[in-house]
């Protein structure tokens, strides 16, 4: 059972890679408006390395697959988002550990730990116009749905929709963290690249799990 769950984690990382590859160019253009234009290529390098590392760990537990993926992601992506994503994937892996089955409480804890890794490392506050502005609505929606008895796959779908709409709403904000800060004025009217990529990834994982 542990190896089957590990395989599921490998399959999910392949989906993450595919959705980033599909949007690589758009994410780069979005980051070029006020940032340095490398969000597409950086995410691409990160997810390529993470998916490859996860395949190398195939047959292992969820924890092994995700820690290998997260380490590769941080190491190879470069850039702020790569370090944040890498540490978050590792944190989710450590949270999930090596169990035979997972409960909705386990899923809730993994999401909490994923988000905490990013806020602890990046120290962005809500409204700073970073991926945190999509992550917090994602987490809070997920936890609220699970508390209300919604099954994990359905809770994930609702949370992913919340992340996507929150990512779109970051267009109204002025960046207070990261490389987009010096050109903050240019960024207004356009969503934050890291928030957008998180929304896309959350939606893809939700679709995959539902299918
Ligand atoms: P870099 O900014 O190093 O070029 P990327 O372009 O890959 O890295 O990622 C930019 C994204 O990283 C931003 O759109 C934002 O969402 C996210 N980001 C930047 N700084 C922080 C931070 N301190 N906390 C959380 N997210 C951040
Ligand atoms: Mg950048
Ligand atoms: Mg950069």
Task: List, for residues 162-174, the tens digit of each pLDDT value.
Answer: 999 999 999 999 8
Distance in Å, CA 81 to ligand 3 centroid:
9
Ligand 1 atom 7: the closest Cα is on which residue?
Answer: 39
Q: Which token pair is 82?
A: 């790569």
Ligand 1 atom 20: the closest Cα is on which residue?
Answer: 178
Ligand 1 atom 24: the closest Cα is on which residue?
Answer: 122
52-65: average pLDDT = 93
* pTM summary value: 0.97
ipTM over 0.85: yes
- Give the least confident one: 71-75, 139-143, 176-180: 176-180
31 touches ligand 1 (CB under 6 Å): yes
Shortest-distance ligand to the CA of residue 178: 1
Ligand 1 atom 13: the closest Cα is on which residue?
Answer: 194
Residue 131 CA: nearest ligand 1 atom is 16
Query: Above 80 in pLDDT, residue 211?
Result: no
150 touches ligand 1 (CB under 6 Å): no
55-76: average pLDDT = 95
Distance in Å, CA 59 to ligand 2 centroid:
35
53 touches ligand 1 (CB under 6 Å): no
Distance in Å, CA 39 to ligand 1 centroid:
8
């Amino acid at each position: 059972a542990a190896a089957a769950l590990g395989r599921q984690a490998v399959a999910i990382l392949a989906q993450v890679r595919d959705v980033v590859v599909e949007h690589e160019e758009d994410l780069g253009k979005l980051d070029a408006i006020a940032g340095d234009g490398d969000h597409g290529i950086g995410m691409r390098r990160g997810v390529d390395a993470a998916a490859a590392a996860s395949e190398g760990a195939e047959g292992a537990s969820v924890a092994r697959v995700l820690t290998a993926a997260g380490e590769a992601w941080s190491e190879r992506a470069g850039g702020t988002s790569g370090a944040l994503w890498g540490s978050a994937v590792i944190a989710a892996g450590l949270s999930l550990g090596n169990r035979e089955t997972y409960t909705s409480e386990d899923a809730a804890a993994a999401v909490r730990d994923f988000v905490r890794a990013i806020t602890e490392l990046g120290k962005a506050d809500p409204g700073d116009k970073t991926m945190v502005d999509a992550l917090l609505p994602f987490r809070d929606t997920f936890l609220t749905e699970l508390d209300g008895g919604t099954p994990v796959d359905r809770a994930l779908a609702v949370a992913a929709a919340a992340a996507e709409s929150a990512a779109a709403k970051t267009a109204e904000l002025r960046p207070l963290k990261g490389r987009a800060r010096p050109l903050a004025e240019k960024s207004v009217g356009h969503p934050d690249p890291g928030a957008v990529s998180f929304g896309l990834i959350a939606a893809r994982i939700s679709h995959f799990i539902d299918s």
